């Protein structure tokens, strides 16, 4: 910093010198004495006398005489010089000081308006506080770093790496800081640097997997799964790696692997842990998704059997059919998702939680009429005609899942006598909290 300001001062002095020196240099004037000028005037007068004699003696005419006189006067004026210099050193000093002041003021204003003094101050502050930032970020000492402090920490780390070369710890810290700043490209580049120096660095493999999982593409999730498998090969009980693998499996709808990973996490936690209930709920959700997936496959097979079955079976199914007219409450019209999926299903009022009949629609408008019958059963033997009391439900799902979630729209009927219900008007009038 001192070197920079010294350089600025030297450049300013050099510029001032260019402005001042021309004013301080005195013009060289050839000074003539009084006698020298008198001689020139005497010669001029003598020549005038000669021209007058030539005119009297008619050696020249009047026109030539007048022209010669004018030429003599012009030559005398050119040959005569002043005896004192017109330039004054006092006036030159004023001009020099004025020019120097203007130059300095203009430079200061221009640098203040267009310079990077604030960035330079931030850079020096980041370098001065680099160790303190590191203690607060890594050792968890003091308050957490603010967003501005994280940016300053990243700047200081980049400067340190530029000055001292590759440093595994610095690259790892820069990657984690970049993650906190949502600078995922910088984070990946930093972690790549570390893995080139130490391919088996488990903390970096886990952090890198988090970045790839946040990005969310299939290719990056596959790469993250490979990194986590490498970690678990060396440390089978690494809970961070297990939890990330569970999230990857969940995002891919790989319910078996997700359930197994979450169960491992649940067993490793105390029931008083705030995350225990959340993970237990996630396992329950996965089990329900597994059941739905299994029943969907059974329903597909059953549907094929029904389609190829006898007319007698078809007539029996029609006997249990219920026409459901679904409409949407006006106050919920603005809550309708852009690409929602409409599920209309019947469940036993007292019995298994699995739907007895389900209709799924992705292209719909209200009001809409659907038909529920044994042909829409999800599980063989668990059909609409197998129960006496039912509840009809219509739900608009945001994620194409029959499981309810926050923000979805739903409408339910009262308990109905299945044998006495052939048609029903169902209104979607509830927003799931």
CATH number of the domain that 380 lies in? 2.60.40
Task: Tell me how far apart the terminal alpha carbons of the chain are, to the nearest angstrom.
Answer: 59
Mean pLDDT for the stretch of residues 247-260: 80
Asked whether the beta carbons of 371 and 324 are under 8 A apart, the reply is yes
Asked whether the beta carbons of 417 and 322 are under 8 A apart, the reply is no
142 and 250 housed in the same domain: yes
Which of the pair, 159 or 197, is modelled with greater confidence?
197
Confidence of residue 24 (pLDDT cuts 50, 70, 90): low
Examine the pLDDT at 122 and tell me if it is beyond 70: no
Residue 291 has a pLDDT of 79
Does the residue 20 lie in any domain? yes
Mean pLDDT for the stretch of residues 354-366: 84
34 and 106 housed in the same domain: yes
Confidence of residue 399 (pLDDT cuts 50, 70, 90): confident
Total tally of structural domains belonging to the chain = 3
Does the residue 399 lie in any domain? yes
243 and 349 housed in the same domain: no
Examine the pLDDT at 155 and tell me if it is beyond 70: yes
Domain that holds residue 237: 122-284
Mean pLDDT for the stretch of residues 136-162: 69
Mean pLDDT for the stretch of residues 72-84: 71
Q: Rounded to an integer, what distance in angstroms lies between the CA atom of residue 205 and that of residue 246?
A: 16
Does the residue 371 lie in any domain? yes
131 and 277 housed in the same domain: yes
Examine the pLDDT at 143 and tell me if it is beyond 80: no
150 and 259 housed in the same domain: yes
Residue 303 has a pLDDT of 54
346 and 365 housed in the same domain: yes
Domain boundary among 56, 84, 114: 114
Residue 86 has a pLDDT of 43
32 and 99 housed in the same domain: yes
Does the residue 321 lie in any domain? yes
Does the residue 132 lie in any domain? yes
Confidence of residue 72 (pLDDT cuts 50, 70, 90): confident
Domain boundary among 50, 83, 114: 114
Residue 350 has a pLDDT of 78
77 and 135 housed in the same domain: no
Token pair of 417, please?
């006598």
Examine the pLDDT at 15 and tell me if it is beyond 80: no
Does the residue 307 lie in any domain? no
Does the residue 228 lie in any domain? yes
271 and 324 housed in the same domain: no
274 and 227 housed in the same domain: yes
Domain boundary among 284, 300, 333: 284
Which of the pair, 109 or 356, is modelled with greater confidence?
356
The conformation of residue 27, written as its DSSP 8-state character, comes to: P
The whole-chain average pLDDT of the chain stands at 76
Residue 92 has a pLDDT of 65
Residue 298 has a pLDDT of 55
Token pair of 238, please?
């690494």
Asked whether the beta carbons of 372 and 359 are under 8 A apart, the reply is yes
264 and 164 housed in the same domain: yes
Residue 89 has a pLDDT of 47
Mean pLDDT for the stretch of residues 324-350: 89
Token pair of 384, please?
């609409």
Q: Rounded to an integer, what distance in angstroms lies between the CA atom of residue 238 and that of residue 231?
A: 8
Does the residue 215 lie in any domain? yes
CATH number at residue 203: 1.25.40.10
> Which pTM was predicted?
0.43
223 and 165 housed in the same domain: yes
DSSP β-ladder status, 389-397 and 416-417: antiparallel
Closest among 246, 241, 187, 235 to 211, alpha carbons compared = 187
Cβ-in-10-Å burial (0-12, 13-18, 19+) of 398 comes to: middle
Residue 23 has a pLDDT of 61
Residue 2 has a pLDDT of 63
């Amino acid at each position: 910093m001192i070197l920079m300001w010294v350089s600025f001062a030297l450049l300013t002095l050099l510029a001032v010198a260019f402005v001042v020196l021309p004013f301080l240099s005195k013009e060289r004037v050839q000074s003539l004495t009084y006698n020298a000028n008198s001689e020139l005037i005497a010669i001029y007068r003598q020549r005038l006398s000669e021209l007058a004699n030539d005119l009297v003696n008619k050696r020249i005419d009047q026109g030539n005489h007048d022209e010669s006189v004018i030429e003599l006067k012009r030559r005398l004026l050119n040959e005569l010089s002043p005896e004192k210099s017109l330039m004054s050193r006092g006036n030159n000093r004023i001009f020099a000081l004025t020019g120097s002041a203007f130059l300095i003021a203009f430079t200061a204003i221009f640098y203040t308006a267009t310079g990077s003094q604030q960035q330079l101050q931030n850079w020096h502050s980041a370098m001065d506080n680099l160790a303190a930032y590191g203690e607060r970020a890594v050792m968890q000492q003091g308050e957490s770093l603010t967003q501005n402090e994280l940016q300053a920490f990243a700047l200081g780390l980049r400067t340190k790496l530029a000055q001292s070369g590759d440093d595994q710890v610095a690259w790892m810290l820069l990657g984690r800081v970049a993650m906190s700043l949502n600078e995922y490209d910088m984070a990946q580049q930093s972690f790549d640097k570390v893995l080139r120096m130490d391919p088996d660095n488990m903390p970096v493999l886990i952090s890198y997997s988090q970045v790839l999982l946040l990005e969310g593409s299939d290719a990056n999730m596959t790469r993250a799964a490979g990194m986590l498998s490498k970690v678990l090969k060396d440390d089978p009980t690494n809970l961070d790696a297990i939890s990330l693998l569970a999230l990857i499996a969940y995002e891919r709808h790989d319910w078996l692997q997700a359930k197994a990973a979450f169960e491992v996490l649940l067993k490793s936690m105390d029931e008083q842990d705030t995350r225990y209930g959340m993970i237990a709920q996630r396992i329950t959700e996965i089990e329900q998704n597994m059941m739905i997936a299994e029943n969907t496959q059974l329903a597909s097979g059953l549907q094929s059997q029904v389609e190829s079955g006898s007319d007698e079976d078809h007539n029996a199914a029609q006997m249990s059919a219920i026409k459901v007219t679904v409409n949407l409450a006006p106050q919920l019209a603005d809550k309708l998702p852009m690409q929602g999926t409409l599920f209309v299903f019947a469940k036993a009022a007292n019995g298994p939680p699995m739907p007895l009949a389900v209709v799924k629609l992705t292209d719909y408008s209200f009001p809409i009429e659907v038909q529920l019958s044994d042909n829409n059963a999800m599980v063989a033997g668990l059909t609409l005609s197998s129960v006496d009391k039912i509840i009809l439900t219509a739900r608009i799902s945001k994620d194409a899942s029959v499981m309810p979630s926050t923000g979805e729209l739903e409408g339910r009927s009262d308990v109905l006598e299945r044998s006495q219900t052939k048609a029903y008007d169902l209104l979607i009038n509830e927003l799931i909290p």
